[in-house]
Amino acid sequence: MENCLFCKIIGGVIPSTKVYEDETVYAFRDINPQAPTHVLVVPKAHIADCNGINTENAAVVAHIFEVIPAIAKAEGLEGGYRVVSNCGADAGQTVQHLHFHILGGKQLSLEMA
Ligand code: 5GP
Ligand code: ZN
């Protein structure tokens, strides 16, 4: 997607601090962290949001949920962590490329972070 910020990050057009990468998934540090650890995990293929998950692309989402615990372990989040995906305007989604926030490294409140 030409005008998608996260597609540009995945493609290296916009720099990011990489945390993890494989054939289908990319993870990088959030530019405006809401917790001591704040990582964004995205499918490399463009999916706009949770509503865009379907039978054809669901495997990458399942894979993301295999990758998330590995990232959490590597980040030392033994005490726990939160996974958040904002879908749509009411949820405050600001980037229309499916992403999962991993938040941790402190006692989290009931707000997103
Ligand atoms: P959303 O609000 O859509 O759930 O989350 C978007 C996230 O992307 C925000 O937490 C925001 O800080 C992060 N973000 C926005 N622009 C950039 C950027 O250019 N680089 C990085 N690493 N994160 C970004
Ligand atoms: Zn995209």
Per-residue pLDDT of the chain (113 residues; tens, 9 = 90+): 789 999 999 999 999 999 999 999 999 999 999 999 999 999 999 999 999 999 999 999 999 999 999 999 999 999 999 999 999 999 999 999 999 999 999 999 987 65
Helix (H) or strand (E) holding 7: helix 5-10
pLDDT at residue 100 in the model: 98
Nearest to 38 by CA among 87, 82, 4: 82
Among left, alpha and beta (phi > 0; psi -120 to 50; other), residue 90 is alpha
CA distance from start to end of the chain = 29
pTM exceeding 0.95 = yes
Confirm whether 99 is a catalytic residue: yes
Atom 19 of ligand 1, nearest CA residue: 31
Q: In Å, how far are 5, 58, 64, 90 from 113, measured between CA atoms?
A: 22, 26, 20, 17
Ligand 1 proximity of 48 Cβ (cutoff 6 Å): no
Ligand 1 proximity of 93 Cβ (cutoff 6 Å): yes
How far away, in angstroms, is 97 Cα from ligand 2 center?
5
pLDDT at residue 18 in the model: 98
pLDDT at residue 29 in the model: 98
Ligand 1 proximity of 87 Cβ (cutoff 6 Å): no
